[in-house]
Amino acid sequence: MASTIINGLVNSFKDINNKIYVTDINKEKVEKLRDGLNINLCENNTELVKRCDIIFLAIKPNAYQSVLKEIKSYMNNEKLIISMMAGVTIDDIKQYFKQPVKIIRIMPNVGVTVNEGMIALNGGDNVTREEIDLAVELLSSIGRVDEIEEHLMDAVTNISGCSPAYIAMFVEALADGSVLRGMPRDKAYIYAAQTLIGTGKMILEKGIHPGELKDLVSSPAGVTIEGVYNLEKRGFRSIIMETMDICDKKMKS
């Protein structure tokens, strides 16, 4: 995810690579990133925090405690932390610092790898409107950014973080059904995926309600409504909703 964000920034903002510093325990990975994008490499976390005004915490949740203990002495109220750690709240991070710290929490999904991500964002108490706007501007290089209340971050993980797996399964099932009827698999994937993109754009760009879109395609006594009827009989929508409920309980366990 960090690599994707860096790529998006470099591709969207002229000469920003000179201002980007990275560090990681995997030196080979960050050296490759440095060489490919002409960015700067730091030896460790403390060096990076000393050099940078905006610090992206692109680390696993189980590592955040040790990282925060390492950098806390080098933070001040002018620096901004942008955290993308799942399940780690702004309050969880704040408790490691004696002084007030500026923290923005984000939750991107896998779509950022093709600059079509969905990124939820919430700014802590000490963050100014200008700093939130700057974060939105930077992150818009890799997708759509939406400001949201922090208590909804788990719901964000559920609807946009987990769902690419379900959507991919749906695309695969559509393709399997077409292969069963003689369509080459590579073409089947193209037709299913492009239809998914077009449907999403109609909802987002034209503002068409999903129910209205379903009605638009479903002619009286036609093929589509027969398919809709079969999906409803088998609990298609309720299965999705139950799955999201199960995932929500898993996140809270």
- Cβ atoms of 202 and 208 within 8 Å: the answer is yes
Residue 180 has pLDDT above 90, yes or no: yes
Q: Which domain holds residue 16?
A: 2-148
Residues 100 and 167 in one domain: no
Residues 76 and 172 in one domain: no
pLDDT tens across 211-246, in order? 999 999 999 999 999 999 999 999 999 999 999 999
pLDDT tens across 34-78, in order? 999 999 999 999 999 999 999 999 998 888 899 999 999 999 989
- Cβ atoms of 8 and 116 within 8 Å: the answer is no
- Read off the pTM: 0.89
Q: What percent of the chain has pLDDT over 70?
A: 100
Residue 253 has pLDDT above 90, yes or no: no
Residues 37 and 133 in one domain: yes
DSSP state of 157: I
User: Nearest CA to 39 among 82, 64, 9?
Assistant: 9
Residues 140 and 212 in one domain: no
DSSP state of 113: G
Residues 138 and 160 in one domain: no
Q: Which CATH number is 64's domain given?
A: 3.40.50.720
